[in-house]
Amino acid sequence: MTDAVLSQSQAPEAVLVAQGLGKSVSDSTGSLTILRDVDFSIAKGETVAIVGASGSGKSTLLSILAGLDTPSVGTVRVTGQDIFALSEDDRAALRARTMGFVFQNFQLMGNLTALENVMLPLELAGQRDARKQATAMLERVGLGQRLSHYPKLLSGGEQQRVALARAFVVQPAVLLADEPTGSLDFATGEAVMQLVMDLNREAGTTLIMVTHDRAIAAQCQRVITIAAGAVVQDSRV
């Protein structure tokens, strides 16, 4: 076996591949390019931060990687599947099977308790032991005494921990996080990020996180820098 073949056979499996991604929108003033010629491959279990200034296109890129937005050109493959070759319903089903999400503003259901919020994706997936799994995950993130609390009765840090429990309880292949500490104070944000990294390591999940904070990005194995809609640097930390 040649070295090249050996190297290829030992290469980590790519869980997400973006190829030739571009995104443009038009209005009465003309056309605006948001993303252009974006290419990268992310290996299974890798932790990746996407960084860039406000307006650089990083959040749009994350939405496209999730199949929540569509590119003007290019493809995204998740676990080998071209997500834009799927119908909208099939894309939603793929997200439910393979992805978890954490947002800056938590995106919890206000009319559901912490336990019910974490149970929801399990119930949608038809899992019979949703309550048991959700309870265990909330205990793991330190909220075993907050199961019956509604989001409005929880602090920002507690709400984000509920969101993390909801994201990880489905054991996603990929976790997509958009500024997960953006609404939190420094100390709470540090604690939440430590929890994100701990949960990610325990679950062996592939983490793709958008952040403007270079200190947070440095906790990941790899940093992809976006400027004016293009990848200008892709480096290992």
Give the residue with greater pLDDT, 144 vs 2.
144
- Residues forming beta bridges with residue 226, ordered by sequence position: 231
Q: What is the pLDDT of residue 4?
A: 44
What sign results for the dihedral spanned by CA atoms 177, 179, 184, 187? positive
Summarised one tens digit per residue, pLDDT across range 160-219 is 999 999 999 999 999 999 999 988 999 999 999 999 999 999 999 999 999 988 899 999
Distances (CA, A) of 184 to 27, 143, 167, 200, 207: 35, 17, 18, 20, 20
CB atoms within 10 A of CB 86: 14
Residue 6 has pLDDT above 50, yes or no: no
Residue 221 has pLDDT above 50, yes or no: yes
- Kindly state the helix (H) or strand (E) to which residue 208 belongs, with its residue range: strand 206-210
Summarised one tens digit per residue, pLDDT across range 114-148 is 999 999 999 988 888 999 999 999 999 999 999 99
Q: What is the pLDDT of residue 143?
A: 96
Residues spanned by the domain of 74: 3-236
Residue 31 has pLDDT above 70, yes or no: yes
Residue 1 has pLDDT above 80, yes or no: no
Please enumerate in sequence order all residues whose Cβ is within 8 A of that of 71, keeping only pairs 6 or more positions apart, or say none. 21, 22, 23, 35, 64, 84
**Average pLDDT value for the chain:** 91
Q: What is the pLDDT of residue 12?
A: 65
Q: What is the pLDDT of residue 212?
A: 87
Q: Is 181 helix (H, G, I), strand (E, B) or coil?
A: coil
pTM, two decimal places: 0.89
CATH code of the domain covering residue 232: 3.40.50.300
Q: What is the pLDDT of residue 27?
A: 81
Residue 62 has pLDDT above 80, yes or no: yes
Q: Is the separation of the CB atoms in 10 and 4 below 8 Å?
A: no
Percent of the chain with pLDDT over 90: 82
Counted domains in the chain:
1
Please enumerate in sequence order all residues whose Cβ is within 8 A of that of 95, keeping only pairs 6 or more positions apart, or say none. 66, 67
What average pLDDT does this structure show over 25-44?
92
Q: For 209, what's the count of Cα atoms within 13 Å in the CB-facing half-sphere? A: 30
